[in-house]
Structure 1
Amino acid sequence: MKRPLSIRVRFLLVSLVAVPSALALAALFMTSMFSASLERRLEEELKGHINTIAGSIRLGIDGKIEHPFSLMDRRFAQAYGGLYWQIGDAATSAQFRSESLWDTSLSSPDDLPDDGAVHRYEADGPEGTRLIVLERQIMVSAPAGLKPVQISVASDTRALDEASRGFALDILPYLAGLAAFLIGASLVQVIFGLKPLADLTKGLDRIRERRSGRLEGALPAEFVPVEAAVNRLLESQAQSLARARARAGDLAHGLKTPLTVLSNDALTLRERGEGEIADEIEHLVQMMRGHVEHELARSRIVANADMRQTDADIEKIVGQVVKTLQRTPKGEALQWTVEIGEPSHVPLDAHDLRELIGNLTENAVKWASGEVCIGWKQGRLVVADDGPGVDPDKIRSMTERGVRLDSQTPGTGFGLSIVKEICEVYGLTLSIENRQGSGLMVSVGFGAAE
């Protein structure tokens, strides 16, 4: 099943899409507002020109409009200068016009109302330009009475368009910088916002490494239900394990006494000359005692982190185990090489580490011809002997319960099985291989110490 995108990647993708889109819309809005503002200013300017022209209009004795004085803006005098005016009446719509119109005139709509207000419309201008036209009709006194006069002032939109484009280009770098800042801020926000998940992961890792029995820490309020649910699950599992191991321990202890009685019965039978039955009983007792010891060892493995006080001092425990085995008849005759050095502590319960090292070392002593080596190499505890080694096809079965590769050698066949179970509980890696020359080498990798 394909794993979905991480939360960080999702937030980043959303930011990469949303931030530029939002800023693009903002740029369009700001450019539109800027254009509207320029257009309002232009209309106010055109209204001023209309008022100036209206104040200078005079009618002659014959009732015709006299040419007004020239306006100060040079664009009115420059051909197609972009600013135009035109005066007309009912008879002639373009009786007078600015020099900038040259050979054209402003077209007026047919439905222009005669209310005296300023009306705005757009029209085609010289050389294919688009014009904004303001037009007003005023009443001027004439000998025959009031006469309507239309005043039109126009400006092409090229200046507005160029100003809008220039404004958009000017704000583009700032918007790009703002986009980069917002995306970066979003990423920082995601990292900071998801930090409680990292704390939650660390808490779960501590539980997995058996450094804690509960999910604890200063988690946000949103994680309180998760914390409570995980702790309830851990408590339930710990109680179930404790009950199961207690029952296994009680059962194993309960069987030790009957096994001792059977062993004594076998001794009695042997003294009576019934050696064959005695051998069979002793064999069965030995097998059952191996199972009992195995279950007792399993019941002593730390069931939860609350039972674990501190990390184990590996150099100290190796020294204790070696000192004990050197006092045995077989261990006394062997040469011992112990090189631990760093690290001084590993994340295991002291009893579990002693059980692990004890079983590995006892197995090495059992098969060694003259030397046992114990060392620490690149995060792995290595126990090696110079014995006959093991058939490569049988190495995998060595960690199975009750498997004995040599029935002539004393043992229960549960030592490496217990080692394997401890490794599985703590997430350690177990490796078994033959040494170059002769002998067996067993190593355990401590991930947290590597």
Structure 2
Amino acid sequence: MTLLPRSLYGRLLVTALVATLAALAFAAVTIGAVLDRFVMHGLDDRLDAQIAVLAQAVRPDGSIDRARLVLAAPYDDLQGGWGWRIDAPGRTITSPAAPALTALQARGQRRAPPPALPPLSLPAPSAPSSAASALIGPPPPPDGRRAHGDGPRDHDGTQALDWHGEDGMRHARSLTLATPAGAVRITASAPRALVDRPLRAAMVPLLGSLLLLGVALATATLVQLRIGLRPLKTMRTGLAAIRAGTARALPEDQPTELAPLAREINALLDENATALANARAHVANLAHGLKTPLATLALALPPHDPDGTLAAQVARIDQAVRHHLGRARAATPGSGLRFATPLAPVVADLTTALSRIHADRGVSASATIDPALSVAVDRQDLDELIGNLLDNAWRFAASRITIDAAPAPDPRFIRLSIADDGQGIAPAARAAALTAGQRLDERGDGHGFGLSIAHELATLYGGSLVLDAASLGGLDAIVTLPTTLFSEA
């Protein structure tokens, strides 16, 4: 069981949307990482600059020259969260830390403006408080190993550190100097929020832009699919036209990918048309080959057939041959081309011919058919189908026949009604009347094949034949035949 839709349109749309969402997610993550790296790089530059200033205060012997310690912005702002520390052998020097300010605020006092910080304003060498350590950074590991959160060292020996302090996530840079007295470690730190705030501020419009881009890409995908798949719809319409008989082949001006398929379909149609023509030629040859022997046999029978039994059997053979040859000819319309055959001229020609054949019966026929009506039935098959129905009506009508044609409730079909004012057929016997060789009335020279041939021809073309009671009092033969407006489905 596949999760993809069955239609090509649905499959292409789903895969395009999934690919677009994946690309947008990748772009958001990648751009966010680039922005984070860019902003973090700027913060690291500022921290490295402070470390470079503090490193000038470390003498070659490892002692600290306090006169060189300068507390410049932003390290002079106690609320800014910036801090530094120097861990030298036997002493630690830190910048002013936040605990003093916190204590003043706890007592409800206003903070005095930060003093100018000459070297004497720095705290005396002593171990820093736990609050100052949390603000400025952890001391160097006593055994020389890298502390938790330490990053890789740069080419100049500077190392990045990240940890959770009392005021949130913090980021620091650290440099270790080797001196005769021991290692001296200089650390400068700042709140990680200095990076996170601008990053979040930049991500909001970025995500909005990516959302708009996603909507634009989805719209472009829909338009692309409609334009790209339109030739398939055109080809389907062309095949429906061929099936309905309004076209003989698919147009050759197809897109490059569909042109080979169109050529193959046209070649298949040509082959089927050729096969149909050959089959009909063989049928005609067979009919011609059997007609002469049967006619000769019928002429030679009278001296040997005093009661007419053998003549009746020869006539039945002739009708059976006609029946099966007609079925063979009609069995191939779906495999060849269908052409629209106007209905009114066929009915008019048959009515004229049968009125002359049955002139002695004095039956009149009237037809009401729109000249624009056409059916997707071969002309020869249509002549035989309607001819059998009209011949049957002429044989049993008392004096009148009506022929009406109009679109059926199903727009794919036309409804043709041939009614007479004869005795009709009982409802229980109507099904038997459509069976080959069944005669319900032994009078006359019929052999019981007319209605069955008409029924089989109508069925083979996708239509139907129904026998019903006519408003004139006799039989109403209602035949439905496909029109040239076959549904594409």
Q: Residue 171 of structure 2 aligns with which residue?
A: 132
Q: How far apart, CA to CA, are the structure 2 residues paired with 1:45 and 1:127? A: 22
> Where in structure 1 are there 5+ consecutive unaligned residues?
none
CA distance in 1, matches of 2:247, 2:320: 31
Paired position in structure 2 for 1:283:
312
Query: What's the counterpart of residue 77 of structure 1?
Result: 77
- AA aligned to 1:104 is A
2:476 is aligned with 1:440: yes
The residue number in structure 2 matching 1:97 is 95
**Aligned 1:100-115 pairs, distance under 5 A:** 100=98, 103-105=131-133, 106-110=137-141, 111=144
In the TM superposition, residue 280 of structure 1 has moved relative to its aligned partner by 0.6
Partner of residue 229, structure 2:
194
Query: Contact 2:402–2:418 at 8 Å: present in 1 too?
Result: yes
Q: Is the CA contact 2:71–2:95 (under 8 Å) kept in the aligned structure 1?
A: no
Q: Distance in 2 between matches of 1:116 and 1:381?
A: 94
After TM superposition, give the deviation of residue 396 of structure 1 in Å: 4.0
Query: Take 2:5 and 2:28, find their aligned partners in 1: how far apart are those partners?
Result: 34
Give me the whole-angstrom Cα distance separating, in 2, the residues matched to 1:99 and 1:4. 64
* Percent identity over paired residues: 25
Amino acid paired to 2:288: H
Partner SS state of residue 13, structure 1: helix
Counterpart of 1:257 (choices 285, 289, 292) is 292
Conserved in 2, the CA contact under 8 Å of 1:213 and 1:306? Answer: no
Query: Residue type of the partner of 2:186?
Result: I
Match of 1:382 among 416, 422, 440: 416
Q: Distance in 2 between matches of 1:327 and 1:418?
A: 23
Counterpart check, 1:347 vs 2:376: yes
Matches within 5 A, 1:329-340: 329=358, 333-340=362-369
Change (3 A) 1:447 1:163: farther
Structure 2: how far apart are the matches of 1:331 and 1:313?
A: 30
* CA distances 1:158-216 after superposition (whole Å, capped 9, x unpaired): 23234334444433333333333333433443444434433443444344345556555
Counterpart among 176, 179, 184 of residue 214 in structure 2: 179
Tell me how far 1:341 sits from its aligned partner. 2.1
The letter of the residue matching 1:124 is W
Three-state SS of the structure 2 residue aligned to 1:152 is: strand
Task: Give me the whole-angstrom Cα distance separating, in 1, the residues matched to 2:405 and 2:211.
Answer: 56
Measured after TM superposition, the shift of residue 133 of structure 1 is 0.9
Mapping 1:152-163, distance limit 5 Å: 152-163=187-198
Whether the aligned pair in 1 keeps the contact of 2:455 and 2:464 (CA below 8 Å) is yes
Distance verdict in 2 for CA 1:275–1:63, change over 3 Å: closer
What do the CA deviations read for 1:221-266 (whole angstroms, capped 9, x no partner)?
4445545554555455444444433333222212222222233234
Equivalent pair of 2:252/2:263 in contact (CA under 8 Å) = no
Residue of structure 1 equivalent to 2:25: 24
Q: CA deviation at 1:157?
A: 1.5
Cα distance in structure 2, aligned partners of 1:116 and 1:405? 112
- State which of 368, 371, 389 in structure 1 corresponds to 2:400: 371
Alpha-carbon deviation of 1:383?
Answer: 1.7
Asked if structure 1 preserves the Cα contact closer than 8 Å seen for 2:58 and 2:65, the reply is no
Instruction: Name structure 2 gaps, 5 residues minimum.
Output: 101-130, 147-152, 409-413
Q: Residue 273 of structure 2 contacts residue 337 of structure 2 at CA under 8 Å; is this kept in 1?
A: no
The residue type paired with residue 385 of structure 2 is L
State the AA in 2 paired with 1:9.
Answer: G
RMSD (CA atoms): 4.1
Is this contact kept in 1: 2:377–2:482, CA < 8 A?
no
Partner secondary structure for residue 434 of structure 1:
strand
408-417 or 219-228, which deviates more: 219-228
- List aligned pairs for 1:294-313, cutoff 5 A: 294=323, 297=326, 311-313=340-342
Whole-angstrom distance in 1 between the partners of 2:240 and 2:17: 33
C-alpha distance in structure 1 between counterparts of 2:266 and 2:192, whole Å: 72
CA distance change for structure 1 residues 89 and 4 in 2, over 3 Å: closer, same or farther? closer
CA–CA separation in structure 2 for the residues paired with 1:436 and 1:301: 28
How far did residue 127 of structure 1 move?
A: 1.4
SS of 1:134 mapped into structure 2:
strand
* 1:90-144 Cα distance to aligned partner (Å, 9 max, x none): 3223x1313447541221433389999361322435315222211235699xxxx
Counterpart AA for 2:96: S
Relative distance call for 1:446 and 1:115 in structure 2 (3 A) is: closer
Indicate if the aligned counterparts of 2:279 and 2:329 stay in contact, CA closer than 8 A: no
Q: Is the 8 A contact 2:458 2:479 kept in 1?
A: no
Query: Are 1:356 and 1:422, in contact at CA under 8 Å, matched by a contact in 2?
Result: yes
Q: Secondary structure at the match of 1:154?
A: strand
CA change 1:33–1:412 in 2 (3 A) is farther
Q: How many equivalent residue pairs? A: 434
Give the match's secondary structure for 1:405.
coil
Please give the alpha-carbon distance, in whole angstroms, between the structure 2 residues aligned to 1:429 and 1:203: 22
Q: Which moved more, 1:166-175 or 1:304-313?
A: 304-313
Whole-angstrom distance in 1 between the partners of 2:399 and 2:203: 88
Higher helix proportion, which one?
Answer: 1
Cα separation, partners in 2 of 1:393 and 1:71, compared to 1, 3 Å? farther
Q: Could you tell me which residue of structure 2 aligns to residue 318 of structure 1? A: 347
Contact 2:84 2:186 in 1 (8 A): yes
Distance 2:310 2:438 in 1: 20
TM-score by structure 1 length?
Answer: 0.79
Distance across 2 between alignment mates of 1:72 and 1:85: 12
Q: Which residue of 2 aligns with 1:401?
A: 436
What secondary structure is seen at the aligned counterpart in 2 of 1:121?
A: strand
* DSSP-derived class of the 2:160 partner: strand
2: CA distance between counterparts of 1:282 and 1:406? 19
Secondary structure of 2:188 counterpart: strand
Aligned residue number for residue 9 of structure 1? 10
Letter in 2 for 1:324: A
CA distance in 2, matches of 1:226, 1:115: 64
Post-superposition shift, 1:442?
1.1
